[in-house]
Amino acid sequence: MNIGTWRKAETALLRIGFLFNHDQIHQIAHSLPVANALAARLPNALISLAVTNTRIEHEVKRLLGSNFPANLEVKRLGIHTAGSRLLTNALGKLVPAAKVLLYRDNLAYFRALDALVVTERTSLILKQHFGLTRLKMILIDHGAGDRAIGFGASTAKFDHILASGAKIRDRLIADAGVTPNKIKIVGYPKFDAAKADREKLPFQCNGNPTIIYNPHLSPHLSSWFKHGREILDWFITNPQYNLIFAPHVMLFQRRVVFTVDKFRVAFPGKLDKKYLEAPNIHIDLGSVASTDMTYTNAADIYLGDVSSQIYEFLRCPRPAIFIDSQGTDFKDDPNYAHWRAGEVIRTVDQLGLALDRADALHRAMYIAAQKTLFDYTFELTSEPSSHRAARAIAEIIGHG
């Protein structure tokens, strides 16, 4: 922080932090547009963007560009104690140790804030274990999917939640026990920052239909660990289709995948050279294009399991296919509501026929369901979602 920013901090009436504490960049676009809008709305407040690694810092600065409000700062947080550094070096390749230790090592920063806006739940440690009960904590979740983990009881511990639409509000009340007055519907700020046009990728110039395969990382829900490589093999032998393989950006981040909602351990493995060299397969394990809707816009058909990216894909209704690798009893289960958007298959042997009839089934059965799902998930208005969210935050802190 430079001297000018320190002076702004000293005279600011309010200090509002936006935390970007993750290994990957996929959560940034869910709240950064809100921070920018809030800085413009509250010129006498200091809006502090707390970043925790170089990759996150670069992406935040790239998205901000050179022209952003003078009362908005980018603040780098780090691991400061010898014990934390030791644990991070020892465990960092297996578990996100730095993500948790960072809270303890930066308590002075968090204590100085009036409000903190976050996109995930580990930050609740500040209230539950470090006693920062005065700090108003506001959740803007990263995604608007149906998985049960998004509606767990811990969510009720936030002071306020900014929801994308009625679906999120209703399930937070019913499943997480959140009191209705804690929830404000603001739309989906990521749509303000993400690409809107359906730009084609160079390898799509052959005119063939393009499928995006977007498996999640959770071993008890994902199709990758049982069917992933079989799906890639299918596309190698069926070059009449293009494939964008853009899994959850954390799937290949570490050698081992741990999940906490249901404890599981799995090994994603490495990708064989044949997949990387296939001319009809485009692979992206975590670039900016994996997070800015480049691929969900470009694809003609969605193939996936439980990723919330299906709802971003449905911004422009198109055929969808879901592969159930777990033998799930999904009918009437709200955690699989998105599977109403397309055909569900259980083996890769069924994939060819599902693709053959995808367009016809979409028109006959699924397009109306997709529109219903999208409208229930996202309440969008003529006012940009980031502006609605900024207005909601200003009201929460008494400056509406």
Give tens-digit pLDDT for 332-368: 999 999 999 999 999 999 999 999 999 999 999 999 9
Residue 127 Cα distances to 135, 171, 183, 199, angstroms? 8, 24, 19, 44
Q: Do 34 and 66 form a contact (C-beta atoms < 8 A)?
A: no
pLDDT above 80 (res 20): yes
Non-local (6+) Cβ contacts of 281 within 8 A are 232, 235, 236, 242, 243, 245, 275
How far apart CA 172 and CA 179 sit, in angstroms, is 8
Q: Do 302 and 321 form a contact (C-beta atoms < 8 A)?
A: yes
- Residues 366, 367, 371, 374, CA torsion sign: positive
How far apart CA 283 and CA 193 sit, in angstroms, is 23
In this structure, the number of other CB atoms found within 10 A of the CB of residue 97 comes to 18
| Per-residue exposure over 128-144, b if at least 16 CB sit within 10 Å of its own CB, e if not | eeeebeebbbbbbbbbb
Strands 264-266 and 257-259: antiparallel
| 171 vs 264 pLDDT, higher one | 171
CB neighbour class for 242 (10 Å; exposed up to 12, middle 13-18, buried from 19): buried
pLDDT above 70 (res 222): yes
| Ordered DSSP codes for 18-30 | EEE-SSSSTTHHH
What is the band of 3 on the pLDDT scale with cuts at 50, 70, 90?
A: very low
How far apart CA 354 and CA 345 sit, in angstroms, is 8
Residue found under tokens 């998985």: 147
DSSP-assigned beta bridge partners for residue 17: 48, 116
What is the band of 383 on the pLDDT scale with cuts at 50, 70, 90?
A: very high
Least trusted range by pLDDT, from 194-203, 292-301, 364-373, 379-388: 194-203
DSSP-assigned beta bridge partners for residue 140: 162
How far apart CA 158 and CA 141 sit, in angstroms, is 12
Q: Where are the alpha helices (DSSP H) in 65-186?
A: 82-91, 97-105, 107-111, 125-128, 166-175
Residue found under tokens 């999917």: 145
CA-based radius of gyration for the chain: 21
How far apart CA 93 and CA 88 sit, in angstroms, is 9
What's the mean pLDDT in 141-163?
96
The predicted pLDDT at position 399 comes to: 87
What's the mean pLDDT in 138-149?
96
Average pLDDT, rounded, for the chain: 92
What is the band of 8 on the pLDDT scale with cuts at 50, 70, 90?
A: very low
What is the band of 78 on the pLDDT scale with cuts at 50, 70, 90?
A: confident
How far apart CA 275 and CA 185 sit, in angstroms, is 42
The fraction of the chain above a pLDDT of 90, given in percent, is 84
